[in-house]
């Protein structure tokens, strides 16, 4: 069904109306193989298409969707919430007051200081949102309003691939971090689980979301290693391995007390853990080990794994396969940490 562009009586309601429809559309097109609660998922979809919603109600629904496994929705939703806050300062009366120039102003002001990857995500969210509205709005005479947003002239990106190097730990810092994991005073209920999570991420380089979506059937032992069957972005499968001796104790002790129905790790209610929770654990352990980085979140562990992997083997294909990158150019950033290779430049004038 199509709707008039300014469907509601105020701009706030209209923007939230379109945002609710867009979120519903994205939830139905994202891979749903990681959905942990199909009934909750169905309820979220029904609520999104039924009645008007304000921005706070939408935040609650998106959080529920994220908690049942649809973490990718935040890539689209969060930039559009920021856009909503930005537009409110202008007090527009109609969606038609939004144009390319205004959106470039938004990107320039709200993405300053962010990485190129985050800036690209903001741009993609805007393009998807307004393209969706272009296709779904309809006037009484059957015509539709076209935003035709392209954002080709936005100069906010540093380059085609974005060359900002990610925060990572060197080998000495990784060793200190691993020692701190075992020495950190977790609660009795969370100690085995949290150590298991952090060790798997740092030793395999899988994404936090991939770790939190692992099911017990996805991990099994073969000789002296555990094999993990991971589902990455776009629901693409891959296999990673970790030496059994690294996680055996934490894994078996956690399995003996866990309350999860299907997930490998969960909270005390049996629900999926959040990425924010894991990042807080990482930051606390980094502080205890005296390690400070520009970014202390859990994703930094993945960058540390990839950096060390490339430095040791100088094999971009291996890095690409281990991290599950669709494009090898994404993996190429880790070549910038190859200090031995760069040392060759110091001999240029010898």
Q: Which of 66, 119, 168, 302 is catalytic?
A: 302
Eight-class DSSP state of 167: P
Q: From 305, 154, 180, select the one nearest 242 (Cα to Cα).
A: 305
Cα 167 from Cα 159, distance rounded (Å): 19
3-state SS assignment for residue 309:
helix
Q: Which of 207, 231, 272, 303 is catalytic?
A: 207
Q: Which of 199, 299, 303, 310 is catalytic?
A: 299
Q: From 156, 242, 164, select the one nearest 199 (Cα to Cα).
A: 242
Q: Which of 164, 325, 332, 336 is catalytic?
A: 325
Place of tokens 């993990």: 228
Helix spans in 111-217 (H): 116-136, 171-183, 191-204, 208-212
207 is catalytic: yes
334 is catalytic: yes
Cα 169 from Cα 304, distance rounded (Å): 5
Cα 176 from Cα 287, distance rounded (Å): 11
Q: Are 62 and 23 in contact (CB under 8 A)?
A: yes
231 is catalytic: no
Q: Which of 233, 243, 312, 314 is catalytic?
A: 233
CA distances to 13, 168, 175 from 171, in Å:
52, 10, 6
Based on its alpha-carbon atoms, the radius of gyration of the chain, rounded to whole angstroms, reads 23
24 is catalytic: no
Strand order in the sheet with 225-231: 219-222, 225-231, 237-243
299 is catalytic: yes
3-state SS assignment for residue 332:
helix
Eight-class DSSP state of 213: T
59 is catalytic: no
| H/E run at residue 50 | none
Q: Which residues are catalytic?
A: 207, 233, 299, 302, 325, 334
């Amino acid at each position: 069904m199509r709707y008039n562009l300014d469907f509601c009586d105020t701009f706030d309601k209209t923007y939230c109306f379109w945002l609710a429809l867009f979120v519903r559309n994205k939830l139905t097109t994202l891979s749903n193989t990681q959905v942990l609660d199909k009934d909750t998922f169905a309820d979220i979809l029904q609520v999104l298409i039924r009645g008007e919603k304000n921005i706070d109600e939408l935040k609650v629904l998106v959080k529920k969707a994220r908690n049942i496994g649809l973490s990718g929705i935040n890539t689209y939703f969060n930039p559009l919430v920021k856009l909503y806050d930005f537009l409110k300062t202008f007090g527009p009366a109609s969606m038609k007051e939004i144009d390319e120039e205004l959106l470039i102003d938004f990107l320039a002001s709200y993405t300053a200081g962010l990485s190129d990857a985050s800036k690209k995500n903001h741009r993609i969210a805007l393009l998807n949102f307004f393209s969706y509205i272009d296709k779904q709005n309809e006037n009484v005479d059957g015509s539709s309003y076209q935003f035709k947003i392209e954002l080709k002239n936005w100069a906010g990106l540093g380059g085609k691939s974005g060359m900002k190097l990610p925060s990572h730990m060197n080998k000495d810092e990784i060793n200190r971090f691993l020692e701190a994991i075992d020495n950190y005073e977790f609660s009795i209920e969370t100690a085995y689980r949290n150590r298991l999570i952090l060790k798997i991420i740092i030793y395999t380089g899988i994404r936090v979301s991939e770790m939190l979506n692992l099911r017990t059937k996805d991990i099994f032992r073969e000789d002296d290693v555990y094999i993990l069957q991971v589902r990455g972005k776009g629901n693409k499968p891959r296999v990673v391995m970790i030496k059994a001796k690294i996680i055996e104790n934490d894994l078996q002790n956690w399995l003996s007390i866990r309350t999860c129905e299907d997930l490998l790790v969960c909270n005390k209610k049996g629900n999926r853990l959040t990425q924010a929770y894991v990042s807080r654990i990482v930051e606390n352990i980094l502080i205890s080990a005296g390690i400070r980085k520009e970014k202390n979140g859990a994703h930094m562990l993945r960058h540390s794994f990839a950096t060390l992997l490339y430095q040791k083997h100088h094999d971009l294909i291996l890095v690409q396969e281990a991290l599950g990158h669709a494009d090898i150019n994404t993996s190429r950033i880790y070549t910038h940490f190859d200090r031995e290779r760069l040392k060759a430049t110091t001999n240029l004038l010898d």
